[in-house]
Amino acid sequence: MTEQIIIDTDPGVDDAVAIWLALAAPELEVLGITTVAGNVSLSDVCRNAGSIIAKSGRQDVAIYAGSHGPLTGTQRFGKYAHIGSFASLLKDEGSVAVSAEHAVQFIVRKAQEAARQQRPITLCALGPLTNIALALNFSPEVAKGIKRIVMMGGAFSAMGHRTPWAEFNFYADPNAAARVFRSGIPLVIMPLDMTFQALLTEAHLEVLAHDAGEPGRAIQHLFTTFDRNDPGRFLRDGGPVHDATVIAWLLEPELFQGCEVTVGIATTGETAGYCWADFYHKLKQQANATVMRHIDEQGFHSLLQRVLAVYGSKGEK
Ligand code: RIB
Ligand code: CA
């Protein structure tokens, strides 16, 4: 039986890889793409999502626009927000219409259906957690329809990359993260500590451009245009593709090593967005998350190349 997922996302070049990966994987049924402001504004993430879907050939998958900004507090955008949408780079300007149904309403509706059918769904959270927090607040029934939330976020042993103390997704809406952390839903977290271990190099991009059809060429174009190399930080070539690890974990969890811990987040003060994990169980609290600590980098690249190659074998669009 395929796993039914909703991808909540703020594309974002790494979100794009995650979405193309999910749409190419026969093990997954993508019920919908819900968008949230984050890397760029809500209108630009919707435009980007439209171009990603258009490139995938999967126009059967609908896009649901969600939150313009955090539950409370200052709006934070990614470092490329001033560039706006990358859809024009992909020459697929918003060619997939956004549904009239709000993202939060869509998540609530699908979760309630799942609860009634006793077939809970997985939420894949690739951006700030605002939509998911709002859906959880809608009714207690929602959580019953959610099997787990697999999210990219946090920086535990790695330093933050958006501020010295925080990773972007959690920094952009710490109150939403706090709401999700206390939901009681099984959480799987892909932090910077782990995503920094799997870097896309020019050679990897060349393979995808050659073998993965239009999405493969788009990935090479996007990762070349928005250069994510940081040899000062990573001590080698390549740039992280954070969000793709969320989907990779669903497809091949054996590529990852993690541990069950209690996680929490600062929601006020100078270090709002700082997420901590009690790796040594000092608080003697019930673990509320599984945090991934290690990834098999070569296995990850093999997975990306194998699954994304389906876009090449489909023949050119
Ligand atoms: O910190 C990395 C995360 O922030 C990724 O999900 C990236 O797409 C941005 O949303
Ligand atoms: Ca993202």
- Measured CA to CA, the distance from residue 248 to residue 297 in angstroms comes to 11
Quick one: pLDDT at residue 317?
A: 42
Mutate to test the pocket of ligand 1, among 34, 168, 230 (most ligand atoms within 8 A of CB): 168
User: In order along the chain (317 residues), what is the average pLDDT of each group of 10 residues?
Assistant: 96 97 98 98 95 93 97 90 81 75 98 97 98 95 97 93 93 98 98 98 98 96 92 94 98 98 97 96 97 98 98 67
Do the beta carbons of residue 211 and residue 205 sit within 8 Å? Answer: no
Other C-beta atoms closer than 10 Å to the C-beta of 153 total: 30
pTM (predicted TM-score): 0.97
Quick one: pLDDT at residue 93?
A: 53
Is residue 168 within 6 Å of ligand 1 at its C-beta? yes
- Measured CA to CA, the distance from residue 143 to residue 149 in angstroms comes to 10
- Measured CA to CA, the distance from residue 267 to residue 151 in angstroms comes to 18
Q: Looking at residue 2, what DSSP letter applies?
A: P
Quick one: pLDDT at residue 92?
A: 64
Q: How far is the CA of 38 from the centre of ligand 1 (A)?
A: 8
Q: How far is the CA of 14 from the centre of ligand 2 (A)?
A: 6
In this structure, what are the phi and psi dihedrals at residue 106, rounded to the nearest 5 degrees?
A: -65, -45
- Measured CA to CA, the distance from residue 228 to residue 12 in angstroms comes to 12
Is residue 44 within 6 Å of ligand 1 at its C-beta? no
Quick one: pLDDT at residue 85?
A: 85
CATH number at residue 69: 3.90.245.10
Helix (H) or strand (E) holding 284: none
Question: In Å, what is the CA distance from 34 to each residue of 59, 105, 131, 173, 231?
Answer: 15, 10, 8, 16, 34
For ligand 1, atom 1, the nearest C-alpha belongs to: 168
Catalytic (active-site) positions: 242
First to last CA, the chain: 29
Q: What is the amino acid identity at position 302?
A: S
- Measured CA to CA, the distance from residue 22 to residue 259 in angstroms comes to 24
Q: How far is the CA of 76 from the centre of ligand 1 (A)?
A: 12
Beta-ladder partners of 137: none
Domain with 134 in it:
3-316
Domain count, the chain: 1
Question: In Å, what is the CA distance from 72 to each residue of 136, 275, 288?
Answer: 16, 18, 24
Is residue 154 within 6 Å of ligand 1 at its C-beta? no
